DNA sequence: AGGCGCTTGTGAAGACGTGCACAAATCGCG
DNA sequence: CGCGATTTGTGCACGTCTTCACAAGCGCCT
């Protein structure tokens, strides 16, 4: 992945924050830290050690410290990190201090679930508009939002600034929708359709593909099966645990 | 990620296939190649060059060749790869030659969408059972499958071999559900709940988290905004493309 | 048969990510 | 005031992944 290293960009940011050019792997973990921190805050913790937070987020403590050090975070040696302060810092870095508007295109099977999901608002994202191409769906109201025809996208985008576009149409329509989103100035897209999309430089694309996840799991399942076929050691994977308690130390396969 | 290198395991597999211990990054891309290959096959192509397939899958051609070389694939120099043969090879490596049964736990907002999704069957996965804890949902029929109470999991799992468990419950119930799945012998789990789950060694866990994807996009959006604030060069990201055609060469940010 | 163009497979180098291990810093307590 | 317990921040080494560049192989055309 050679992306996100925009070539001619000078290392300095505009005004106050002085963005320190975080490693992509770190960025991908910050949201997990953030969720763990919110849980800790709700539980009444004022501070947390790197070990504690790492456990709560399911990562190595050294990795966590390095990640936080990248954003110049201030922990106190011998004590740990101030939970509230760290939440503030991470939210600031992730750009979550302002509420971001999301446009959802394709209100079918999956689109309905997404439109009704409350996990958006709780993290500072607001579904600003719903679009579909099917006249039968246009006008339907979901969660207080009316489904509009996708042709109205330019007009709606002109009214309110759309931060992120979400594509939940069939794969055959996804590229066209992406082009439309880009045309109205959307520079971040999350795609649920199982296909590759081309977008111009400067537009960020992320993809969620259920089938791929299942196939990766299938591979490991296949591999485990052919390993238990004959080796003398360890066939314990198939036996259930004694109690219902899972071991708290292991966590496997987070390809992300 | 130190996972998937099971320590004591000898390098040799059981019988025929001689699994060559693929790099994890390669495994994650094989499903994409597979989809691209199916598209090519449907379009009537008999062979494809690494360049052509790489384009269709949205990756670098050198990377694609190295990936395929890992599974000992036989392309022909000067010609390319036999599409049908390559499909067969990849499906065999991914363990897709046998149909895998999936158990879905949590038939709520998201669970309904998943249960009604036809992208499962088309890739060799079969939803074998639906479970929920809410008595009001038990008995409901979705897509020809009856929702059962989650307490019946052991009995159902004994009847049919479950390959993969999918968790679509609220986060508060996810760990308990994971424990139950592990207890009945499931060794691969796909989790949609926004939380970290502990599973014993030998069980593979993958996670799909919408909120994390949005927050990563938010970060890049934030970064782009503070870059366009003052630098003299390149403010072209905001201007729409000339036609509706997207450039075919760039693709950004696939953290997966 | 021979040459030519095209494509694969891979060695090597570099970029990136991870985790250990330890010095430096801070707090609390005697 | 000093000391020990604790925890952060990071230098360093290692493994993984990516990309370039090119020799070797294949088919086709003359
Ligand atoms: N349902 C799932 O659980 C699931 C899971 C993973 C991925 N997906 C993928 O998500 C996408 C949507 O899945 P779904 O099950 O909701 O399909 P669906 O057919 O139920 O919904 C698709 C919706 O998109 C609309 N649409 C079609 N063309 C459009 C266009 N050009 N502009 C705007 N809207 C348009 C249709 O009218 C329809 O309402 C598919 O690509 C699917 O492969 C679905
Ligand atoms: N809806 C979305 O678009 C979306 C997107 C991303 C992630 N998620 C996550 O997916 C999960 C499900 O979301 P949802 O919108 O479908 O929620 P939901 O509340 O609509 O559905 C949850 C279902 O799980 C069932 N359930 C609760 N405890 C259970 C248990 N112990 N065993 C079995 N079933 C149990 C409930 O009865 C309910 O039917 C949540 O964790 C959510 O954060 C949802």
Atom of ligand 1 nearest to the CA of A111: 16
Contact A221 B164 (CB under 8 A): yes
A110 is in an annotated binding site: yes
8 Å CB contact between A208 and B113: no
Residue-wise pLDDT tens digits, B110-157: 999 999 999 988 899 999 999 999 999 999 999 999 999 999 999 999
pLDDT digits over A6-53, tens only? 333 333 333 344 566 899 999 999 999 999 999 999 999 999 999 999
**H or E segment and range at residue A220:** helix A210-227
Nucleic strand D within 7 A of Cβ A3: no
Tens of pLDDT along A196-252? 999 999 999 999 999 999 999 999 999 999 877 655 544 444 444 344 434 443 444
Please tell me the distance from the alpha carbon of residue A225 to that of residue A219, in angstroms, as a whole number: 10
* Rounded CA separation A192/A207 (Å): 6
Contacts of A157 (CB under 8 A, 6+ apart): A103, A184, A185, A186
Instruction: Please name the residue of chain A whose CA is at the shortest distance from the CA of residue B100.
Output: A218
CATH for B24-93, among 1.10.10.10, 3.40.1160.10, 1.10.357.10, 3.30.479.30? Answer: 1.10.10.10
CA distance A132 to A153: 10
Q: What percent of chain A has pLDDT over 90?
A: 76
The count of other CB atoms within 10 Å of the CB of residue A190 is 22
CA–C1' gap, B72 and D14, in angstroms: 27
Find the mean pLDDT for residues A104-109: 98
Angle value at C-alpha A27, between B247 and B60, nearest 5 degrees: 35
B24-93 and B100-210 in the same fold: no
Segments making up each domain of chain B, as ranges: 24-93, 100-210
All residues of chain A having their beta carbon less than 8 Å from the beta carbon of residue B204 are 217, 220-221, 252-253
Is pLDDT at A1 greater than 90 in this prediction?
Answer: no
Dihedral, A247, A248, A250, A256 alpha carbons, nearest 10: 130
Rounded to whole angstroms, the Cα distance separating B236 from B256 reads: 27
pLDDT at res. A19:
62
Q: Report the C-alpha gap between A187 and A204 in whole angstroms.
A: 6
CA distances in angstroms from B141 to A72, A200, B144, B149, listed in the order given: 53, 44, 6, 13
pLDDT of residue A227: 75
Whether A1 and B256 have beta carbons less than 8 Å apart is answered as: no
Angle made by CA atoms B25, B165, B209, in degrees to the nearest 5: 55
Q: Inter-chain contact A256–B256, Cβ cutoff 8 Å? A: yes
Tokens of B59: 């990756």
User: Cα separation of B13 and A225, whole Å?
Assistant: 10
User: What is this structure's pTM?
Assistant: 0.89
How many Å does it take to go from CA B59 to C1' C1?
40
Q: Cβ separation of A210 and B205 shorter than 8 Å?
A: no
Cα end-to-end distance, chain B, whole Å: 13
Is pLDDT at A104 greater than 60 in this prediction? yes
Q: Is strand D within 7 Å of residue B62 (CB)?
A: yes
Q: Are B211 and A119 in contact (CB under 8 A)?
A: yes
Region A135-154: what's the mean pLDDT? 97
Across the range A159-164, mean pLDDT stands at: 96
User: Which pLDDT belongs to residue A226?
Assistant: 84
pLDDT for A2 equals 35
pLDDT in tens, A73-89: 789 999 999 999 999 99
- DSSP at A80: B
Size of interface A-B (CB pairs under 8 A): 357
Task: Flag the least confident range among A184-198, A226-240, B28-42, B53-67.
Answer: A226-240
Q: Which residue, chain included where needed, has tokens 């679509």? A: B168
Is residue A142 within 8 Å of A130, Cβ to Cβ?
Answer: yes
Q: What is the pLDDT of residues B193-235, one digit of tens each?
A: 999 999 999 999 999 999 999 999 999 999 999 877 656 544 4
pLDDT, greater one: B5 or B34: B34
Within 8 A by CB and 6+ apart from B9, the residues are A227, A231, A233
Distance from CA of A78 to the nearest CA of B (A): 27
3-state secondary structure chain B: CCCCCCCCCCCCCCCCCCCCCCCHHHHHHHHHHHHHHHHHHHCCCCEECHHHHHHHHCCCHHHHHHHHHHCCCCCECCCEEEHHHHHHHHHHHHCCCCCEEEEEECCCHHHHHHHCCCCCHHHCEEEEEEEECCCCCCCCEECCEEEEEHHHHHHHHHHCCCCEEEECCCHHHHHHHHHHHHHCCCCEEEECCCCCCCCCCCCEEEECCHHHHHHHHHHHHHHHHHHCCCCCCCCHHHCCCCCCCCCCCCCCCCCC
Topology annotation, domain B100-210: Rossmann fold (3.40.50)
Q: Is B137 in the pocket of ligand 2 (CB under 6 A)?
A: yes
pLDDT of residue B241: 39
3-class secondary structure, A204: strand
């Amino acid at each position: 992945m050679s992306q996100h290293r925009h070539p001619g960009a000078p290392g300095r940011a505009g005004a106050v924050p002085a963005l320190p050019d975080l490693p992509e792997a770190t960025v991908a973990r910050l949201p997990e830290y953030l969720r763990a921190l919110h849980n800790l805050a709700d539980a009444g913790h004022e501070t947390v050690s790197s070990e504690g937070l790492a456990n709560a987020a399911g990562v190595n403590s050294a990795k966590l410290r390095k990640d936080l050090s990248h954003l110049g975070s201030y922990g106190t040696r011998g004590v740990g990190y101030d939970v509230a302060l760290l939440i503030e810092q991470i939210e600031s870095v992730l750009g979550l201090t302002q509420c971001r508007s999301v446009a959802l295109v394709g209100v079918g099977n999956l689109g309905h679930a997404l439109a009704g999901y409350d996990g958006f608002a709780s993290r500072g994202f607001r579904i600003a508009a719903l679009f579909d191409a099917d006249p039968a769906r246009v006008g339907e109201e979901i969660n207080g939002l009316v489904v509009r025809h996708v042709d109205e996208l330019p007009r709606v985008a002109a009214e309110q600034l759309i931060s992120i576009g979400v594509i939940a149409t069939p794969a055959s329509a996804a590229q066209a929708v992406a082009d439309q989103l880009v045309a109205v100035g959307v520079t971040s897209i999350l795609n649920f359709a199982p296909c590759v999309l081309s977008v111009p430089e400067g537009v960020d694309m992320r993809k969620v593909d259920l089938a791929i996840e299942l196939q990766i799991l299938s591979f490991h399942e296949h591999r485990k099966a052919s390993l238990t076929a004959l080796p003398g050691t360890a066939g314990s994977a198939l036996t259930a645990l004694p109690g219902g308690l899972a071991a708290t130390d292991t966590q496997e396969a987070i390809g992300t």
